[in-house]
Structure 1
Amino acid sequence: MQIRQVTARKERYMELLLLGDEQEDMILRYLDRGTMYVLEDPDLVAVCLVTDEGDGVLEIKNIAVSPQAQRKGYGRAMIDFLQTRYRGQYRILQAGTGDSPLTIPFYESCGFCRSHVVPDFFTNHYDHPIYEAGVLLRDMVYLQKPL
């Protein structure tokens, strides 16, 4: 397993990024300003993009694992990598996600705690309803963990 940084042509990973954020124009808002990593084992199985949000906060804007590789520890490996890579450079690792029965437990199992909520984020910023595990995503839930 290898995790490497992607510095050019990040859009070539759009198909995988769309698993983590299903609207391309939303991804394009943070793609160029973020730092992207891919995890290969031996082929591409996961992608992650983080941004500096100021005040010592590093935010996971997108993390996605290819469907055939899900539930095998690759998402957790990416979180572990970020913690090691950015410890001492940032105070907090933060992730914003929908209030989903699939996503929230993943972050909580990685040691994240709920921080705050942005009401109606998904209904106000996406051009279509987003469902995950049969749940309509409305609010953005932010989770944080110290680095």
Structure 2
Amino acid sequence: MEIIKVTGSKKEYIDLLLLADEQEDMVDKYLERGEMFVLNDNGVKAECVVTKESNGIYELKNIAVQPDCQRKGYGKALIKFLFSFYPDFRTILVGTGNSPVTLNFYKSCGFTESHRIRNFLLTIMTIQYIKMGNSLLT
């Protein structure tokens, strides 16, 4: 299994991103300004896009796992990779729907619910780490 940063031809991977965000025009708004990562394990199994919002604050705009590869640890592996890829992060944000399965996934990765946007069916999750030497504490 390897995770690679995609620096060109990001649209080549749009089909998988559209599983998580069904509106291509919305994906286009963050795709070019974001950093894309692809998890390859004998083929692309998962991918994500992350944007830098300000110093130490990042947003996970999209994470998607091939349907037949879900619940096999690929999503968690990708998120764990992000924690080490962005050593300056203080907060990683993710906006997600209110599905219990999705919320439980993010909670199992260390995210906590920040707030909900009424009448929008969106929950904002955050993960904040305090760096203490080489260890991370939530």
* Counterpart residue number, 1:115: 114
Q: Secondary structure at the match of 2:51?
A: strand
Q: CA deviation at 1:119?
A: 2.8
5+ residue gaps, structure 2, are: 130-138
Runs of 4+ in structure 1 displaced over 6 angstroms? none
* Counterpart residue number, 1:15: 15
What amino acid is the match of 1:64? A
Q: Deviations over 1:72-131 (max 9, x none)?
A: 0000000100011113x12111111011122111000111001122333xxxxxxxxxxx
Q: Secondary structure at the match of 2:33?
A: coil
Q: Deviations over 1:55-87 (max 9, x none)?
A: 421110000000111100000000100011113
Tell me how far apart the structure 1 counterparts of residues 121 and 50 of structure 2 sit (CA, whole Å).
21
* Counterpart residue number, 1:126: none
Alignment TM-score, normalising by the size of structure 2:
0.89
Residue 61 (structure 1) aligned with residue 22 (structure 2): no
* Counterpart residue number, 2:42: 42
What amino acid is the match of 1:100? S
Q: How many pairs are equivalent?
A: 129
Tell me how far apart the structure 2 counterparts of residues 116 and 52 of structure 1 sit (CA, whole Å).
20
Alignment TM-score, normalising by the size of structure 1:
0.84
Q: Whose RCO is larger (CA < 8 A, sep 6+)? A: 1
Q: Secondary structure at the match of 2:54?
A: coil
- Higher percent of residues as strand: 2
Identical pairs, percent: 49
